[in-house]
Amino acid sequence: MNASLSTKYLEIQGVEQTFKTAKGLFPALQGIHLQIAKGEFVSLIGHSGCGKSTLLNLIAGLTTPTAGALLCANKEIKGPGPERAVVFQNHSLLPWLTCWGNVHLAVERVFGAKESKAQLKARTDAALELVGLGHAAQKRPGEISGGMKQRVGIARALSMEPQVLLMDEPFGALDALTRAKLQDELLEIVARTHSTVVMVTHDVDEAVLLSDKIVMMTNGPAATIGEVLHVPLARPRQRVALAEDREYQRCRKAVIDFLYTRQGHVEKAA
């Protein structure tokens, strides 16, 4: 195995993103340098509008940086690719397809040229089972809860067997109990699939529970990485036991201090 690849699977090198707006150029991100190892779980956290989604979209290849470069497995990211699947907050399912149909569409797109119909069906079934939704396969998005829709979105992303799972506030719209359940499921799934994950979140507990590394961003404009916190908690992690854990509390406090003491003053957008 290539050691440099394992420690530098995703590389963000001096990235800058400036948007053209009606009022002129808006510098959203500047001087972003970050390395993510294969199999690492990384959260991006920061105040609203600091550029978390902008950074995730750059890694997804949905946008290109104004300056700097992004690499995945030593190759420059030049657009979206099946090795990087995205899960959005609003799950973005096609309402006229069943849960099964939504996942199958992604499976077909990635594996359709090489695999038989039976293999594609097996992949679709397996992805829905992985998120505990085998029983709801024939339901349409309008007939299931928000948490179930989010699970279909995760199943769809995982069905592509991506090397990297990119999640933009995947649990942001859910109630606290559903969110906790899905976080636990995500912990188990990632332990099984060894995916590299980059997740945008506003939730300090979510970031500490799930991450190996928490990337804390300064307020915009011209936001950058203020600090990277390593979370040295052993896995598997149990949320109830962790609530009393000193190391967990230390990490939680470090993120809260950064967000509310050092980045407490949120500049109003123009």
Ligand X SMILES: Nc1ncnc2c1ncn2[C@@H]1O[C@H](COP(=O)(O)OP(=O)(O)OP(=O)(O)O)[C@@H](O)[C@H]1O
| Residues making contact with ligand X (CB under 6 A) | 19, 21, 26, 28, 46, 48-54, 220, 269
**Closer Cβ to ligand X, 247 or 267, answer by number:** 267
Half-sphere exposure of 141 (CA within 13 A, CB side): 17
User: What is the closest distance, in whole angstroms, from the C-beta atom of residue 210 to ligand X in the complex?
Assistant: 17
**Closer Cβ to ligand X, 50 or 155, answer by number:** 50
**Closer Cβ to ligand X, 38 or 84, answer by number:** 84
User: What is the closest distance, in whole angstroms, from the C-beta atom of residue 23 to ligand X in the complex?
Assistant: 10
* Sequential DSSP letters for 167-202: EESTTTTS-HHHHHHHHHHHHHHHHHH--EEEEEES
User: What is the closest distance, in whole angstroms, from the C-beta atom of residue 132 to ligand X in the complex?
Assistant: 28
Q: What are the contacts of 29-34 at 24+ separation with CB within 8 A?
A: 29/54, 29/55, 29/220, 29/222, 29/223, 29/224, 30/222, 30/223, 30/224, 31/224, 32/68, 32/224, 32/225, 33/225, 34/10, 34/215, 34/225, 34/228
User: What is the closest distance, in whole angstroms, from the C-beta atom of residue 179 to ligand X in the complex?
Assistant: 16
Q: How far, in Å, CA of 264 to CA of 3, rounded? A: 39
Picking from 223, 199, 194, 220, the residue whose alpha carbon sits closest to that of residue 210 is 199
User: What is the closest distance, in whole angstroms, from the C-beta atom of residue 201 to ligand X in the complex?
Assistant: 9
* Sequential DSSP letters for 51-93: SHHHHHHHHHTSS--SEEEEEETTEE--S--TTEEEE-TT---
User: What is the closest distance, in whole angstroms, from the C-beta atom of residue 27 to ligand X in the complex?
Assistant: 9
Alpha helices in 211-270 (DSSP H): 239-242, 246-256
Phi-psi region of 195 (alpha: psi -120 to 50; beta: other; left: phi over 0): beta
User: What is the closest distance, in whole angstroms, from the C-beta atom of residue 151 to ligand X in the complex?
Assistant: 22
**Closer Cβ to ligand X, 137 or 174, answer by number:** 174
**Closer Cβ to ligand X, 17 or 124, answer by number:** 17
**Closer Cβ to ligand X, 88 or 111, answer by number:** 88
**Closer Cβ to ligand X, 124 or 201, answer by number:** 201
